[in-house]
């Protein structure tokens, strides 16, 4: 799943036709979801006016930039058979906290730093409670979701916190090679976490833990430490997303990111990350995020009625997974 | 912008599912039909999506947009974004503020301030109390609150301000926070508040919208405070309110402050169209007013407003 | 009609993506007989049984029962046709009781409600009649693997099916339960059932089977209508395609200093203090009945379970209690017995499973996984232990049971600085050829100076491989024997509890 | 969890003291959460004014009545290792649909019937897609959640739909033995589904499927059929909850029940239902529902600031599971 197996297959197969068939199917398996996305994109480009324009593509990328960042870490979380509902709250809290600290200290850098530390702390608490006290991840992160959201409201008195320093806004609005900074950050996240997943012990251990935590422990994987790290990094990245969002909006908003967690998790699952753990691919997650964003974008462009948008969103979600699952039918018996 | 390009106007609202915004869109659509421009309707329930919506409008070559933002503090970023994308900007319902909390004067606005509506609610309740001759000290006031939403807080605070101005004791205001903004949560909040305060003979109720007040009315009914011991006044004049008025027997849902979605939707769109097409700048500030509808006059007033 | 075999496979073929598991295979099983099915790991035996059980649909060929062709689309079809299969990978519901597992899918009801009393009474009665001592109300997760396997066997038997297939039923059973099982199988044979019996333990085949079929690489290579006069070597030759005269192939070695020293170690699940020592180059076999506490003790030593007291030293250095990674760092590793629960990481590849632990020694720049090195390691063991897999990237759950076991073993053999190797039932479900290969690996390691502890419930294996045999009974070490003095009688005697009858499985 | 295992344990343990200890712990295991709730209730009764009054207890019961009903069926869903996010939407849709049909036909009975059928249909679609097409339950029900919510909005034009017939309101407001009808319905659900879980083949098969789907399938359990039934019944009960809610509020509201699904799932998990399937107890779910409702109720009674309520909710959630998990520490090796 993690990377094309085609070459490996070719090396050890038995008969030439079997080898060919296996190779072909493996390619279908590895790239089916990407194919779905390409088709979707092509069809939309041809049928929806303005869809295939630089402006729109950038807009699309911006609209999924927060989800994209956090989806990278959520992928790790799900791959290790965990679950994190607290990311939406962390996004909100980080934005508010960054704004407050920046205003208080007059330094945006301190604000950002403090906010990142706070996000990492939230993640650490999640991880420690889940790994060490062995409390169900759903309940734990539901609890921190509430608590952190509460902190965001308390810190901001329920009001958006404007940032006085103009420097802060460049983070969200500056462009580099005609792509806005948030998009670059998201791309960087995909690269970094893709490498982490596929090329490092951390990523491999994450997958092993998700595949079979007991076996991983007996094989000498520091299960607790890895799980804590996963949540900590997730908190950190969620905080980063929150800071960037605040910068884009020029204020920290305590009610930002509601429902964010479900969107992120859906994007991951759509991208083939198994909720049962052990299976994840960064390209899948990327495509999952893009499909979600593209559908929403196209619907706005097509001026689809708000109520009917619900239907379309639901239907697309179903169709995308359905097409992707067809490959499994073949394997099932 | 060349004079013969087709005009395209965005209309961005914070809660696309809400009847109020559906109505605004409906009347904007009517204007579009009459004037022959394209209307793009986008829902943007949070700050991130507002920015996405503006990007989206730019991609489809709209020339301007009208927005009711989920948070007025998004002001500076919306203004900046509109400027970068070269889109004309007007606001409706909620007025943008800058970092310091002052209204951004440069953006044309049509609307009614949240605290103003709240005050109208308070005044309506106070008047009805007086008419019924209730003693304020025997009356409890249910503030169905949802302080997480700045507008909601301003509305309820406005109502309290008007009530106290009319001599209602502030101590009798019972805060009943709802966990979500639906009727069931309002019901639960009100129910507990009534339990806590068995001393009151009568109740009044106000909140963010009609649904909040409806929940309070239902809860009061469950505790045997019916039409003659309950005055609930909602905001919006929505179907929830009209359903109450349509019932055979009067209920504790006394009235609702109706604001005209027609003016907000239709007039703003037409103004924006004129601005783009003929360069005729809209008025900087238009304040509309709400009107109390009750069982007695709902149909009549709605007709007057062209609803 | 009467001379049609009870069960006949005709020209069965089955291909998985990249693997031809079976090709044009057929054989027949008579009523009232036990038919042995043999073959290397990955030969296709379990696949055949899954086709019989309706779990897989064959690509080609058909299954005939009493001369009548049957097409099973799902497991329920096979059950309806009077087929019961005991799968190699145990299929029980851990959270449900023994009774509910035994009656899964057919609990008795009264007025639409489950009739627990009747079910309980019935289960008790049948268990007693079969001479199997299991508490019907205990949850499966509370039982040892051997007991779980017993539940699976009883579950199939209680179906009163006319065809019964047992896929390596004894892999987790030791002597006593095996005896119970054999008695049950013989009873069933006299009742006229047709049975297929798969095992890698050739003694069992000779002891039990009336006829046998041998598979190799998904094809049938031999059919024996009767096993009288067939030699063991002939079977092995047909199975693995080469001669293995002495499967154990033991060679004496010199023993060095004490490498592993265990002193008064206790744990939650192993409350009695245990002490023993193993020298460099020595292979110590631990023998006992199911539930003797061998696995528990070793888990505590390794740190997989909490150690409450005692000391474990490797080369004189003390190992931190309950700290697996410290043990591994000191070169002490443990290969667990329950490969499905504790061994394999099912959805990951063979290569991943082999490299998971040792890779920490082969990082590039201290951070990145060295794919080339890992591929080499994986391919090495795939070849050396003959792990039958289309490629090293295959998800390990898709391998045959024996091949999974080999991959899990490889994980530990790949450790660079191995000093103490504890293997718990290392040859469970492994074919004769590969067993031989695994023993050779153990000897090689021992020759390199590794101290090896091997838990096994197969007495010949313990006697054939070990330099020293340690017996355990009820959580205590009861005796030690040199290779010279150990024999079946004295080892078994030392492993049996003094008063029989209170062990988990009763001898009939 | 499903029932005391004390007897079973007693039989397999060896020494008398070990047997005694095991028995004691098993009892603690089986009833610890109930104990937590009793303590919580007692403490609140003594410290919080008005908490222990009939009015308040009835109010509390009413406030959890919808969640309680659906938690019963969600328990089955989770126990079989599935997941259902669509219940909140179904609650809203059922209310709206019932109101519309009642108004159109003039008959409340037809309205209720139609609405129940619609709910069952939603559930059936969920179940069929999940069981037959083998699509991930999270994605499937997320899709139907969107679609059904969309239908609710479309059918009602986004407006509350009032019911003209007064008869309809009695369902929500009538009292029987001084308990309102919705509370009775919820109690009935707990009894019915408790019996279903513990005493019927359907319930036992559900647990078997959750505990090990392959084992269940190989033993001839009609796995697909059971899963479809679980979702169908869940849709039906969610519709019932929606109808009762509409009756209580005297109108069907398309935005009702947002976030409902998470509350229901949390209540179940809090009540010891395993997200990994195979474990569920009706008493646990009841207590889970009650704890959630009680905490919310007490906070309101204590006039805790809305922002701080988030903190308390989160903290209580954590504490409840933590105390409940302490027992597992003992078991963990
Ligand atoms: N679902 C599957 N997908 C892909 N390959 C499979 C699948 N099931 C079995 N195989 C392959 O089919 C071959 C035959 O496997 P099978 O389990 O029948 O072997 P076996 O004879 O039972 O071996 P063992 O003695 O190790 O149990 C193996 O190479 C195995 O890897
Ligand atoms: N009532 C019980 N509750 C929990 N576990 C039990 C119970 N009865 C027996 N066991 C289990 O029995 C097993 C004891 O056997 P153990 O696995 O240590 O023996 P062994 O000598 O390794 O034998 P083998 O591995 O061949 O089964 C343990 O797994 C223990 O947890
Ligand atoms: Mg096999
Ligand atoms: Mg063992």
Measured in angstroms, the CA of A202 and the nearest CA of chain B are apart by 32
pLDDT in tens, A157-211: 888 888 878 788 888 878 888 889 999 999 999 999 999 999 999 999 999 999 9
What does the pLDDT average to over C477-504? 78
pLDDT value, residue D90:
97
Q: Has residue C395 been placed in a domain?
A: yes
A3: confidence class by pLDDT, cuts 50, 70, 90: very low
| pLDDT score of D13 | 43
In a shared domain, residues C235 and C262: no
CB atoms B71 and A160 under 8 Å: yes
Q: How far is the CA of D197 from the centre of ligand 3 (A)?
A: 35
| Cα gap C77→C71, rounded to integer Å | 8
CB contact under 8 A, C138 and D208: no
Is C343 found in the same domain as C199? Answer: no
Q: Is the CB of C105 less than 8 angstroms away from the CB of D211? A: no
Most informative mutation of C9, C13, C14, C16 for ligand 1 (most atoms within 8 A of CB): C16
Is A278 close to C346, i.e. CB distance below 8 A?
yes
The verdict on C201 and C305 lying in the same domain is no
Residue C156 lies in a domain: yes
Q: C16 lies in a domain? A: yes
Cα-Cα-Cα-Cα torsion C186, C191, C192, C193, nearest 10 degrees, comes to -70
For the packed helices D306-331 and A137-156, what is the interaxial angle rounded to 10 degrees? 150
Q: Token pair for residue D181? A: 């009808």
Q: Tokens at residue D101, please? A: 């049909």
Q: Are residues C276 and C407 in the same domain?
A: yes
DSSP state of C97: B
Contact C76 D222 (CB under 8 A): yes
User: pLDDT, tens digit, for every residue of C142-198?
Assistant: 887 888 888 988 998 888 889 999 999 888 787 778 888 899 899 999 999 999 999
Chain D interface includes A139 (CB < 8 A)? yes
Residue B188, min C-alpha distance to chain D (Å):
6
Averaged confidence pLDDT in chain C: 88
Q: Is the CB of C400 under 6 A from ligand 1?
A: yes
Question: Which segment of A227-236, B226-235, C13-22 scores lowest on mean pLDDT?
Answer: C13-22
ipTM score of complex: 0.86
Which has the closest alpha carbon to A29: A332, A329, A333, A324? A324
The Cα–Cα gap between C470 and C9 comes to 45
Q: Where does the pLDDT of residue A243 fall: very low under 50, low under 70, confident under 90, or very high at 90 and above?
A: very high
Domain end point (choices C240, C273, C301): C240
Dump pLDDT digits (tens) for A258-274: 889 988 998 998 888 88
> Which pLDDT score, from 0 to 100, does residue D330 have?
53
- Which ligand does the CA of C47 lie closest to? 1
DSSP 3-state of C399: coil
In a domain, C251, yes or no: no
Contact partners for chain B, using 3 or more CB pairs closer than 8 A, are A, D
The pLDDT, as a whole number, for residue A33 is 80
Give the total residue count for chain D: 333
Domain boundary among C240, C266, C288: C240
Which residue, by CA, sits nearest to atom 7 of ligand 1? C398
- Specify whether C350 is located in the same domain as C216: no
Per-residue pLDDT, averaged over B189-200, amounts to 90
Binned at pLDDT 50, 70 and 90, residue A329 comes out as low
Same domain, C320 and C395: yes
Compare C450 and B111 and report the one with higher pLDDT: C450
Question: Does residue C332 sit in the same domain as residue C400?
Answer: yes
Say yes or no: C425 and C305 in one domain.
yes
D13 lies within 8 A of chain C by CB: no
Residue C458, pLDDT > 90, answer no
Judged against a pLDDT cut of 90, whether residue B45 lies above it is answered with: no
How close, in Å, is residue A170 to chain D by CA atoms? 31
Enclosing H/E stretch for A129: helix A108-132
d(CA D42, nearest CA chain A) in Å: 23
pLDDT of residue A7: 39
Q: What is the pLDDT of residue D19?
A: 67
Which residue in A66, A251, A300 is closest to B53 by CB distance?
A300
Distance from CA of D209 to the nearest CA of C (A): 8
Is C445 a domain residue? Answer: yes
**Same-domain check for residues C344 and C385:** yes
pLDDT at res. C414: 87
Which of C208, C240, C272 is the endpoint of a domain? C240
Low-confidence ranges of chain D (pLDDT < 70): 1-16, 18-19, 29-30, 324, 327-333
Residues of chain A neighbouring D306 (CB-CB closer than 8 A): 153
pLDDT at position A172, please?
Answer: 80
Q: Where does ligand 2 bind, in terms of residues with CB under 6 Å? A: C 142, 144-146, 174, 269, 288, 290-296, 337, 457; D 12-13
Boundaries of domain holding C208: 5-240
- From the CA of C432, the nearest ligand is 1
> Per the structure, how many domains does chain C have?
2
- Mark whether C and B touch (3+ CB pairs within 8 Å): no
CA of C293 to the centre of ligand 2 (A): 6
Nearest Cβ partner of A251 from B51, B61, B73? B73
What confidence score (pLDDT) does residue C508 get? 27
> Is residue C253 in a domain?
no
- Is 90 exceeded by the pLDDT of residue C268? no
Angle between helices D282-301 and D65-79 (to 10 degrees): 140
* Ligand 1 atom 25 nearest Cα: C41
Question: What is the arithmetic mean of pLDDT over C469-484?
Answer: 91
The closest-lying atom of ligand 2 relative to the alpha carbon of residue C297 is 18
A333 near D CB under 8 A: no
C300 phi/psi in degrees, rounded to 5: -65, -40
- Asked if the model's pLDDT at residue C107 lies above 50, the reply is yes
As to burial, measured by CB atoms within 10 angstroms (0-12 exposed, 13-18 middle, 19+ buried), residue B45 is middle
Burial of C109 (0-12, 13-18, 19+ CB in 10 A): middle
Please report whether residue C32 resides in a domain. yes
Identify which of D160, D164, D301 has the shortest CB distance to residue B192. D301
- C264 and C172 housed in the same domain: no
Partner C contacted by D104 (CB < 8 A): no
Task: Flag whether C248 is in a domain.
Answer: no
Residue of B nearest to D244 (CA): B184
Q: How far is the CA of C503 from the centre of ligand 4 (A)?
A: 15
Residues C202 and C236 in one domain: yes
The atom number, within ligand 2, closest to the CA of C269 reads 31
Mutate to test the interface with A, among B28, B77, B80 (most CBs of A within 10 A): B77
Q: What is the pLDDT of residue D272?
A: 85
Give chain D's count of helices (H) and strands (E). 15, 4
Is the CB of C97 inside 8 Å of chain D's CB atoms? yes
Query: In terms of domains, do C328 and C369 share one?
Result: yes
Q: Which ligand is nearest to the CA of C143?
A: 2
pLDDT score of C502: 37
The pTM of this model reads 0.88
Residue whose pair of structure tokens reads 């993640």 in the numeric block: A123
Res B238: pLDDT: 85
Distance CA C235, CA C243 (A): 10
C258 band by pLDDT with thresholds 50, 70 and 90: very high
Q: What is the CATH number of the domain that holds C268?
A: 3.40.50.300
pLDDT at residue D329, as a whole number: 57
Please choose from C90, C134, C144 the residue to mutate so as to test ligand 2's pocket, defined by most ligand atoms within 8 A of CB. Answer: C144
């Amino acid at each position: 799943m993690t990377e094309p197996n085609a070459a490996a297959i070719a090396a050890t197969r038995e008969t030439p036709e079997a080898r060919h068939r296996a190779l072909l199917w493996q390619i279908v398996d590895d790239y089916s979801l990407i194919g779905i996305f390409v088709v979707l994109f092509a069809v939309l480009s041809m049928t929806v006016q303005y869809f295939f324009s630089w402006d729109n593509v950038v807009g699309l990328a911006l609209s999924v930039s927060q989800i994209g960042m956090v989806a990278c870490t959520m992928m790790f979380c799900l791959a290790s058979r965990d679950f994190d509902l607290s990311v939406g709250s962390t996004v909100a809290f980080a934005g508010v906290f960054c704004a407050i600290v920046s205003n208080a200290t007059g330094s945006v850098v301190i604000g950002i730093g403090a906010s990142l530390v706070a996000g990492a702390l939230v993640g650490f608490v999640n991880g420690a409670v889940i790994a060490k006290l062995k409390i169900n991840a759903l309940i734990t992160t539901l609890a921190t979701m509430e608590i952190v959201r509460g902190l965001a409201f308390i810190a901001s008195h329920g009001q958006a916190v404007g940032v006085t320093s103009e420097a802060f806004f460049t983070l969200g609005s500056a462009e580099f090679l005609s792509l806005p900074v948030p998009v670059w950050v998201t791309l960087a996240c995909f690269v970094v976490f893709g490498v982490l997943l596929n090329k490092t012990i951390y990523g491999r251990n994450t997958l092993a833990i998700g595949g079979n935590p007991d076996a991983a422990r007996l094989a000498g994987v520091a299960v607790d430490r890895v799980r804590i790290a996963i949540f900590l990094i997730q908190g950190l990245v969620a905080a980063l997303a929150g800071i960037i969002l605040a910068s884009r909006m020029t204020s920290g908003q305590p009610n930002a990111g509601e429902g964010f967690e479900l969107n992120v998790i859906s994007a991951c699952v759509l991208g083939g990350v198994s909720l049962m753990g052990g299976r994840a691919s960064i390209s899948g997650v990327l495509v999952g995020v893009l499909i979600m964003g593209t559908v929403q974008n196209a619907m706005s462009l097509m001026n689809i009625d708000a109520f009917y948008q619900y239907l379309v969103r639901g239907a697309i979600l179903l169709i995308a997974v359905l097409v992707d699952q067809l490959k499994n039918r073949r394997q099932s018996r | 912008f060349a004079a013969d390009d087709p005009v395209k106007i965005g209309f961005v609202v914070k809660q696309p599912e809400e009847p109020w915004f559906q109505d605004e869109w409906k009347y904007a659509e009517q204007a579009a039909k009459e004037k022959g421009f394209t209307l793009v309707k986008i829902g943007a329930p949070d700050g991130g999506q507002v920015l996405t919506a503006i990007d989206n409008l730019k991609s489809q070559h709209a020339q301007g947009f009208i927005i009711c933002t989920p948070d007025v503090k998004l002001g500076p970023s919306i203004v900046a974004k509109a400027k970068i994308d070269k889109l004309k900007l007007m606001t409706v319902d909620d007025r943008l503020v800058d970092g310091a909390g002052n209204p951004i004067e440069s953006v044309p606005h049509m609307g009614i301030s949240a605290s103003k509506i709240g005050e109208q609610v308070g005044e309506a309740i106070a008047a009805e109390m007086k008419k019924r001759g209730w003693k304020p000290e025997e009356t409890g006031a249910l503030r169905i609150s949802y302080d997480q939403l700045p507008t909601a807080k301003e509305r309820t605070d406005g109502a309290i301000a008007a009530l106290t101005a009319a001599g209602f004791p502030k101590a009798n205001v019972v805060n009943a926070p709802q966990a979500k903004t639906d009727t069931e949560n309002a019901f639960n909040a009100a129910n507990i508040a009534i339990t806590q305060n068995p001393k009151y003979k009568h109740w009044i109720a106000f909140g963010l919208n009609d649904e909040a007040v409806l929940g309070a009315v239902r809860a009061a009914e469950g505790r045997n405070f019916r039409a003659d011991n309950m005055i609930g006044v909602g905001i919006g004049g929505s179907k929830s309110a009209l359903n109450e008025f349509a019932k055979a027997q009067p209920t504790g849902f006394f009235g609702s402050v109706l604001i005209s979605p027609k003016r907000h939707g239709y007039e703003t769109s037409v103004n924006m169209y004129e601005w783009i097409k003929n360069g005729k700048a809209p008025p900087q500030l238009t304040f509309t007013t709400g009107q109390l509808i009750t069982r007695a006059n709902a149909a009549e007033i709605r007709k007057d407003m062209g609803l | 009609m009467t001379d049609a075999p009870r069960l006949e496979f005709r020209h069965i073929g089955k291909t998985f993506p990249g693997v031809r598991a079976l090709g044009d295979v057929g054989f027949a099983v008579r009523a009232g007989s036990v038919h042995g099915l043999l073959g290397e790991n990955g030969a296709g035996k379990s696949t055949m049984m899954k086709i019989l059980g309706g779990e897989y649909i064959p690509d080609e060929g058909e299954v005939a029962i009493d001369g009548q062709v049957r097409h099973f689309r799902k497991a329920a079809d096979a059950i309806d046709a009077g087929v019961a299969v005991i799968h190699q990978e145990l299929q029980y519901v851990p959270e449900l009781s023994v009774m509910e597992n035994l009656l899964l899918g057919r609990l008795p009801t009264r007025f639409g409600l489950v009739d627990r009393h009747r079910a309980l009474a019935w289960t008790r009665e049948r268990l007693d009649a079969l001479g199997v001592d299991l508490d019907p109300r205990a949850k499966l997760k509370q039982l040892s693997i051997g007991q779980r396997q017993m539940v699976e066997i009883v579950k199939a038997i209680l179906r009163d099916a006319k065809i019964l297939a047992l896929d390596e039923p004894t892999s987790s059973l030791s002597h006593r339960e095996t005896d119970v099982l054999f008695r049950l199988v013989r009873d069933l044979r006299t009742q006229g059932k047709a049975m297929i019996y798969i095992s890698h333990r050739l003694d069992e085949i000779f002891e039990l089977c009336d006829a046998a079929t041998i598979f190799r690489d998904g094809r049938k290579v031999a059919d024996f209508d009767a096993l009288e006069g067939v030699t063991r070597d002939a079977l092995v030759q047909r199975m693995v395609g080469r001669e293995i005269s002495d499967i154990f192939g033991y060679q004496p070695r010199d023993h060095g200093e004490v490498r592993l020293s265990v002193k008064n170690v206790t744990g939650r699940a192993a409350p009695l203090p245990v002490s023993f020592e193993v020298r460099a180059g020595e292979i110590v076999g631990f023998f006992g009945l199911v539930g003797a506490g061998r696995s528990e003790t070793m888990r505590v030593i390794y740190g997989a379970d909490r150690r409450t007291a005692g000391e474990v030293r490797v080369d004189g250095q003390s190992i931190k209690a309950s700290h697996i990674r410290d043990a591994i760092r000191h070169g002490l590793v443990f290969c667990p017995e329950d490969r499905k629960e504790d061994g394999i990481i099912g959805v990951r590849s063979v290569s991943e499973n082999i490299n998971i632990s040792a890779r920490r020694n082969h990082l590039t720049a201290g951070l990145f996984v060295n794919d080339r090195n890992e591929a080499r390691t994986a391919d090495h063991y795939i070849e050396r232990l003959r792990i039958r897999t289309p490629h090293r990237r295959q998800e390990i759950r898709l391998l045959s049971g024996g091949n999974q076991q080999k991959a899990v073993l490889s994980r530990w053999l790949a450790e660079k600085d191995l000093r103490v190797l504890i293997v718990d039932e290392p040859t469970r479900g492994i074919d004769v050829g590969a067993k031989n290969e695994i023993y050779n690996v153990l000897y090689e390691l021992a020759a390199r100076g590794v101290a090896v502890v091997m838990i096994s419930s197969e007495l010949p294996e313990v006697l054939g491989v070990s330099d020293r045999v340690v017996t355990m009974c009820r959580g205590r070490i009861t005796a030690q024997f040199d290779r010279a003095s150990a024999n079946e009688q004295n080892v078994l005697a030392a492993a049996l509890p003094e008063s029989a009858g209170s062990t988990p499985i009763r001898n009939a």
